[in-house]
Structure 1
Amino acid sequence: MGRRGVVRDTLLFFYQPGDGVLHRVDVRSKALGFVWACAATMASGRWGLGVLGLLGVGLCVGGGVRGVWGSLRGVAVLGVLVLVGRALSTEGTVVWEGLGMRVTAEGLVRGAVGAGKLGLLVVWAHLFLASTPLSSFEAALAWLLSPIPVLRRLRGLIAGTLSLMLSFLPLIAHQAALIQDALAARLLSPSRHPIRYLTLLSTTLIQNLILLAQETADALTARTYSFTPPPLPTGPSLLPPLPFLAVLAPLTALLALLPS
């Protein structure tokens, strides 16, 4: 299958073409930064999350990427569930009690930290995917896997498979919308018949996706699709890997010194 850059890059529906700061950063540095940001987010306490949150806000404002708030709204319910679950399940100083439930101050803090981590992970993923075309995403992922001996030979297959999975997301959303329209035409409402509605939606969606996946696999086989990783983008870029690592070093030290 031919790799025609412009057309192929539009398959990744997260990608926003542009000339912002994040678009011009070296894709290897962006990949390293994404991995570092996710690891730092998971390892940080509330003070570290505050520093990372300021960094995330700065990148959202000046990075040239739109739609971060929309991505955060998509996981808002999950964040609330994390907060409530921690608040109800953690022992400590009781701040509210009633209806057979007990909310603790320590639980609220842990829940807020957990919800904050979830939100930051969504922000990092959105910033990376929205500023990285699909071919560069594959090249960066293959580059990251190259130093790992076990995965070096499989880096093209792994990168290509993940990019195909990301390319499939818009199709999944489209199929779900078509099925919802069909259910609405049959006067099936999620509020009046929630179990039947969700059962029909999920089973029909899975059946359609299996059929589409088989058709895609047949098309790739017929066209002798190659999972050879694409080359890294050429031309000038901001922050090559070595200077970028020099920037990350003091920031990592700062996060390590902050109390949890």
Structure 2
Amino acid sequence: PASEISSLRQRIDGGWVADFSTYQDWDLLASLLKLWLRLLPESLLSSAAYTRLSGTLETLGEDDDRTAASEAAAVSDIAAFIGGMDSVRRGVVGYLMDFFAEVATHAEVNKMTAHNLGIVMGMHTCRMVHSAGMACGDMDAVKRERENQANCMGLVIEMWPRVQAELAKGAPSTPLTSPLPTRVPVSGKTSASMASPISEETSESESGSESESGSESESEGDAAPLVPGEHCVMVCAFSGDAQQHQLTLAEGTPVTFLQMREGWAWVSDASGNAGYVPVSYVEHQ
């Protein structure tokens, strides 16, 4: 039940160290894992990783078209981009893939093949790529995207034992560019909204204005840093882009600061919705 999941989440958020080995409700634990994946500031497989994995899947082709050489190339590519992840993300991906691959070995009993696991976990681990059709509510586009997410995750689970062996040999890694902004957009706190902070930040960073960057650092340095778990308040309304995991919040909205990520504040509101807002829009309560 949702209430039981919420109760577990609150206890874990409060610092409770759970011993899940005593739980027999597998559906509850699976739901808790999916909730945790959805609440991550950035999906476990970022848009860059997902785009690359989609390309690997397309190159590999259907099962009947696969060859030993194409499978080996896919394994090498997956190992390369996973090896290029930061250590924390790589550790989480490895831990989950070890578990999913183990579950898939018992598919005759539990019916959870690599593909079926991909269907269950794909949408929670891969960032949705929002095409124009999806933005217009094209359900066929949404369905195709969900299928692609399932196939991508299923491929990683299927190939994982070989990918793991490749990583153990020290496969060359290919770092992925984070889709998150590299610094906070300059807001001045005078505007009531910012329709596309990610785009605005990109254009500002391309302008290479050292003076703006310097003044921003000075203004941020005047205030005490936000502390994870601290109750804060929105000092300016913000209209975020949900596709970029941003929240839309009114001025004066109480929020809880969770963490800082490359200049953006990851916060949650009273309803438990979590997302990014510019850190300059959040102040101590």
TM-score by length of 2: 0.26
For CA contacts below 8 A with separation 6 or more, give which structure has more relative contact order: 1
TM-score by length of 1: 0.28
- Larger gyration radius, structure 1 or structure 2: 1
Higher strand share: 2
